[in-house]
Amino acid sequence: MLNSILELKQKNKIFNSTWLRTYEDFEDYSEEDAEKTVEQLQAIANIVCDHVQKESI
């Protein structure tokens, strides 16, 4: 259920380098650095979602 909620929210939001650079302290990131950071954030989000999902079983 958590994954379906997360997927619905993600469909309405685009997480990319442009999105990241709208936040303070990320404005000056290069395209490459911003993309790497977004990938790392997505990996962390997946780990957290998996952990929460396993804890709720």
> pLDDT of 16-52, one tens digit each?
999 999 999 999 999 999 999 999 999 998 999 898 8
What's the first-to-final CA gap in the chain, in angstroms?
Answer: 11
* Beta-carbon-side half-sphere exposure of residue 48 (alpha carbons within 13 Å): 7
CB atoms within 10 A of CB 39: 12
Res 11 pLDDT > 70: no
Q: Which two tokens stand for residue 12?
A: 């309405």
* More confidently predicted of 4 and 55: 55
| Angle (CA) 50 4 48, round 5° | 20
CB 6 within 8 A of CB 56: no
